[in-house]
């Protein structure tokens, strides 16, 4: 059975969602399937079952499929670093910090890791669905493209194009990408999925005819725009969330600093009709909020300095209602943050924190990567840790009066803890089952799109 590559005809075409939709449809037909992305660029990461670190998109896709998570699903991950550098994570572990130009210059050295991971999955599964990155035909970068051209060429994958009609220029993007692909890969294109269509879909019947008859590219489906508030891969997708706040009784403010990370921590709150969630990016009054959350951060000291520069530091400092810090936000709550190992900064750095907690944070070279069960705020929960900062007095969490903080991510996914926290804020809070909601959303989303896809043609193509 052939493997599949999902290529976008532009960035943000919907490759991540189409990847898990196609993979789940195949799985339901009896195919043993796994998701894969050779290289991802994201500050949003999860800890896997094997204790490694991968991008959230592949972790989420694996969750939809119910397959074990490991670094094989995303062998190369780039995260924001200091200056022009990026934190390079290879096979689930931090390898080094590299200048972006240096990274591209040394790209060939990463290909063995990509091949090891892909071939491992290929040996275990009938079909690997490989998510591409951006556009596959950036001509100046095609020789440096691990996720698209390298995988498709090296392993002769079948290719599905995904085009975002919402952006405009859909015909040019489909025609251009198809004809700029190397001839060998063009022959492997199964067809194109036109994604994010709004309105009366019969209005695109002529468009389908043009693509199929004039371009000679099969159309595998025209998919409607459906809001999907799960699996946020980046800050842009986070800002596009759709929330129904008509029934809300709580206003929660999340301080969205420039290097905010782990946006998925807030998916349960976006889904919860009790809560109106707002991301605060400017120096506004915080008094309208019933609770403030300091989220995770890839560059904690830089984000802490940003809070001071824009004036939000003093607003948080003087806020008297509930404040919750998560990972990087938790670290900001301490008296002092010390980066003597140059983890985030070019020189040894000490920065004053909010001093809500009577200890200091020391950034250590060895990153804590842990997934498992925790006893947190008198609740048994599942979550994960991913941080360089360490506290000797409060290594996991802190709670006193209106201040709560923890290194643990995904705490709101646990209904017991989420319900406890918000009942303390407002006794009229109505308990919400997020796990059930999440499964219903995924099932409904896939079902809606499955009926609009030419599944038969896809199956025939990978069985050739």
Q: Which residues are catalytic?
A: 327, 409
With CA atoms as reference, report the closest residue to 262 among 83, 100, 42, 22. 42
Residue with tokens 């493997």: 3
Residues 6+ apart with CB under 8 A from 392: 359
Structure tokens at 150: 């390298």
- Strand partners for 277: 252
Do 241 and 235 contact (CB within 8 A), yes or no? no
Tokens found for residue 165: 């009609």
Alpha helical stretches, state H, 6-78: 15-28, 56-65
Residues 6 or more apart whose Cβ sits within 8 Å of residue 192: 9, 160, 161, 162, 163, 174, 178, 211, 217, 218, 219, 220
Whole-angstrom Cα distance, residue 419 to residue 366? 34
One-character DSSP codes across 307-349:
HHHHTHHHHHHT--SEEEEETHHHHHTEEEEEESS-SSSSS-E
């Amino acid at each position: 059975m052939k493997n599949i590559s999902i290529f976008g005809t532009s960035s943000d075409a919907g490759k991540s969602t189409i990847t898990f939709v196609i993979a789940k449809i195949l799985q339901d037909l009896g195919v043993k399937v796994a998701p894969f992305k050779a290289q991802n660029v994201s500050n949003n990461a999860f800890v896997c079952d094997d204790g490694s670190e991968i991008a959230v998109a592949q972790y989420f896709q694996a969750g939809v499929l119910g397959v074990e998570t490991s670094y094989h699903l995303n062998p190369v991950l780039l995260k924001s670093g200091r200056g022009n550098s990026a934190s390079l994570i290879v096979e689930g572990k931090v390898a080094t910090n590299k200048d972006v130009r240096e990274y591209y210059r040394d790209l060939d050295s990463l290909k063995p890791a990509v091949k090891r991971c892909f071939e491992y999955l290929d040996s275990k599964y009938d079909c690997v669905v490989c998510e591409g990155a951006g556009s596959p035909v950036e001509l100046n970068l095609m020789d440096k493209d691990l996720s698209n051209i390298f995988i498709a060429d090296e392993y002769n994958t079948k290719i599905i194009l995904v085009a975002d009609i919402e952006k405009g220029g859909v015909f040019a993007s489909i025609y251009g990408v198809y004809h700029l692909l190397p001839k060998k890969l063009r022959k492997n294109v199964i067809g194109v999925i036109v994604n994010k269509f709004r309105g009366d879909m019969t209005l695109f019947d002529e468009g389908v005819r043009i693509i199929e008859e004039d371009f000679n590219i099969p159309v595998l489906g025209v998919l409607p725009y459906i809001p999907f508030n799960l699996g946020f891969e980046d800050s842009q997708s986070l800002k596009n969330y759709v929330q129904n706040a008509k029934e809300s009784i709580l206003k929660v403010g999340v301080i969205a600093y420039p290097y905010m990370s782990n946006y998925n921590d807030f998916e349960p709150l976006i889904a919860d009709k009790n809560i109106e969630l707002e991301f605060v990016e400017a120096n506004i009054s915080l008094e309208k909020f019933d609770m403030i959350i300091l989220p995770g951060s890839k560059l904690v000291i830089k984000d802490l300095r940003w809070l001071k520069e824009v004036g939000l530091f003093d607003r948080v400092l003087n806020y008297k209602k509930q404040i919750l810090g998560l990972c990087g936000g938790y670290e900001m709550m301490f008296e002092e943050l010390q980066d003597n190992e140059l983890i985030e900064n070019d020189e040894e750095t000490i920065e004053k924190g909010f001093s809500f907690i009577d200890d200091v944070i020391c950034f250590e070279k060895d990153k804590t990567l842990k997934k498992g069960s925790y006893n947190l705020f008198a609740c048994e929960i599942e979550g994960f840790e991913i941080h360089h900062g360490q506290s000797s007095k409060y290594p996991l969490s802190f709670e006193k009066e209106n201040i709560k903080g923890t290194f643990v991510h995904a705490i709101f996914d646990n209904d017991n803890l989420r319900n406890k926290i918000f009942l303390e804020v407002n006794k009229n809070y109505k308990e919400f089952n997020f796990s059930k909601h999440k499964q219903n959303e995924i099932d409904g989303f896939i079902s809606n799109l499955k009926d609009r896809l030419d599944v038969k043609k896809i199956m025939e193509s990978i069985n050739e």
